[in-house]
Chains A and B, each alone.
With several copies, the nearest count.
Chain A
Amino acid sequence: ASGNSNGDKIVIGYFPNINHVAGMVAEEKELYEKTLPDGTEVEYKYFPDGSAFMTALETGEIQGGLVGPGPAMNHYMSGAEINIVAAGSTGGTVIMARNGSGIDSPEQLKNTTFASPRVGCTHDVQFEALMMREYGLKSDRLKGEMKHVTGKPATYSQLFASKRIDVATVPEPWASKIEEEGHGKVLIDTDEVAFGETLPAAVFVTSKELVENDSELVQNMVDAHKEATTFIQDNPEEAKEIAANKIKDITDQELSKSVIDSSWERIDFTYNVKLEDLQSFANASYELEFLKEKPDLKGLVDTTFIEE
């Protein structure tokens, strides 16, 4: 139940998802091995969802890694002793409508069915916040007019094809993939989704205990992460190739060059993170009743490591 602070093994977690390219690049280029003390063994774990990642962090199975801000915040609100020490990337959430659904503006979403990866996940909040604030539409969870189902983004093509859903809030690269396969089209693009450009789509999280007791280790991890992010910015083509290969390795999913290119357009790779962005996202989460108490994220974000 505690971080592996001065052992010689470090486990980093991330998702096989285009917002987590920094993790993939770091793994491929062995960046953690470089910044961490010599002889430290670095291992990587891939997670099916953010909640699983957070649990692993809390039980000490991983020491840090990339996760969506939703799960990080939810767990923090429930009392998890964690810190966000950097961002992974921003953007990448797209609202898509089924081809042939006849929907071409958000006003038409009344009495439709939408899908998100999980109830209350980052993409869900982004979509629902936008709909509530701009169009006055809510999900059935809040006795509203839109039916909500959940499912993995990889299955959205299928859900569109079988007309089970009309709309989906989709993270990249699945948005581009669905577009390419022709089952759905973009309804609201990244920059128009709530918090679309400012909100980190992935954040680098570690345990508070490590931050307090082994800041050197945290610094080393953040340094590696920063290096990876810089690498992506400087060598986008190589980073794309690494991402495509890693995703193929981990998930057995083949992403075409055009899908990767298109996803890349919607994502901004940066490690800068601001508490205010997260706080306003958390407020939306509260307004949508995912959180029972008014959130106060003070103490969640620690930017000292990126400023080093």
Chain B
Amino acid sequence: MKPSIWVKRIAFIIVLLAIWQGVYMSGYFPAIQFPPPTKVFQALVEGFADGTLVGALLASFKHLLIGLALAITLGTLIGVLLGKSRQADETAGMYLIAMQSIPSIVWVPLAIMLIGLNETAVIFVVVLGGTFVMALNVRTAIHSVPPEFIKAARTMGAKGLPLFFKVEVPASLPYYMSGIRLAWAFSWRALMAGELLSNGPGLGYSLRFAMDFAQMELVIGIIIIVGVIGSVVDQLVFSKLEKKVMRRWGLLK
């Protein structure tokens, strides 16, 4: 990337911060409601220094990793089932779409009442957040294996399980990677929802806590952390992985 782009980007941030500070200094909003950037920065430094934010981050990552791993596993199994079995797809496929269109936050009350106000409930919500989108993508991945690959492989004597594992699985990898990226995005959203309504620990809980105790600077600080983590993980991990696969598979120049 050209250095000039980074200059522009950083300039943009600086201008934003200046406007923010300006609004603060204008006194239009009461200070208790509208903290200046400096106080937000200070709140973040303190949070990291005394370890509360570090602990919250670690807890959130734990929930996310466990939940996402489960969601990917479950989603893959369901997706393969629906992708390979027309019977299963016709029977349950429609409901999968319905499940996916339920915002994950809606699961939180159910999870809390069934499982209790603990980390398992948060993980449960994360799993629900990621599983359906994963399953839908795996199903699509299997359906979109180019039929000429399967035909070609069959003329070379491949069939049954070897055909599945040696051709269909690798051929569907690009869609599978998109599935993983979407599963991450939705699990990440579900994680925040679950934690926000949970009893901690976790980044979402810290946010809730800051809100309950009117620590506006911490609220903004945590939103910034969430945005940075979300975009960094998305861009540096999942998007990159997806693009790499797409490029190798010749689907992207």
**Residues of chain A lying within 8 A (CB to CB) of residue B213:** 51, 74-75, 77-78, 120, 152, 154-155, 251-253, 290
Among A150, A154, A161, A251, the residue within 8 A (CB) of B117 is A150
- Bound together, the chains give a CA A80 to CA B114 distance in angstroms of 13
Docked-complex contact B212 and A58, CB < 8 angstroms = no
Q: 1/0 contact trace for B5-43 toward A, CB 8 Å? A: 000000000000000000000001111110000000000
What B residues does A58 contact at CB under 8 A?
A: 30, 32-33, 113, 214
A58-B214, A158-B113 known, 5 other contacts, Cβ within 8 Å: A74-B214, A75-B32, A78-B213, A158-B30, A161-B32
Interface of B is mostly: loop
Known contacts A149-B116, A158-B113; decide if A74 and B32 are in contact (CB<8 Å).
no
Which 10 residue pairs spanning A and B have beta carbons closest together? A59-B116, A78-B214, A152-B212, A51-B212, A155-B214, A150-B199, A75-B214, A154-B213, A79-B32, A149-B117
Tally inter-chain residue pairs, CB-CB below 8 A: 117
- Is A37 on the interface with B (CB-CB < 8 A)? no
Are A155 and B209 within 8 A (Cβ)? no
Residues of chain A within 8 A (CB-CB) of B199 are: 45-48, 52, 56, 119, 148-150
Could you jot down 15 A-B contacts, CB within 8 Å? Answer: A45-B199, A47-B117, A48-B212, A51-B212, A51-B214, A56-B116, A59-B33, A71-B212, A74-B214, A75-B213, A78-B214, A78-B216, A154-B212, A158-B214, A290-B213
Is A60 part of the binding interface, using a Cβ–Cβ cutoff of 8 Å? yes
Chain B min CB distance to A81 (Å):
7
When C-beta atoms are compared, the residue in chain B nearest to A45 turns out to be B199
CB within 8 A of A161: which of B33, B112, B211, B212? B33
Within 8 A of B (CB), among A150-171: 150-152, 154-155, 157-159, 161-162, 164
Complex Cα–Cα for A52 and B116 (A): 9
- For residue A111, CB closer than 8 A to chain B, the reply is no
B115 at the interface (CB under 8 A from A): yes
Residues in chain B near residue A34, CB distance under 8 A: none
> Does any Cβ of A come within 8 Å of B63's Cβ?
no
State whether B116 touches A154 (Cβ < 8 A).
Answer: no
Inter-subunit contact B117/A79 (CB<8 Å): no
- CB-defined contacts of A61 to chain B, threshold 8 Å: 116-118
A258 within 8 A of B: no
Give residues 79-133 of B contacting A (CB, 8 Å).
112-118
Chain B residues with CB below 8 A from A51, complex form: 211-214
List B contacts of A222 (CB < 8 A). Answer: none
**Is A54 in contact with chain B by the CB < 8 A criterion?**
yes
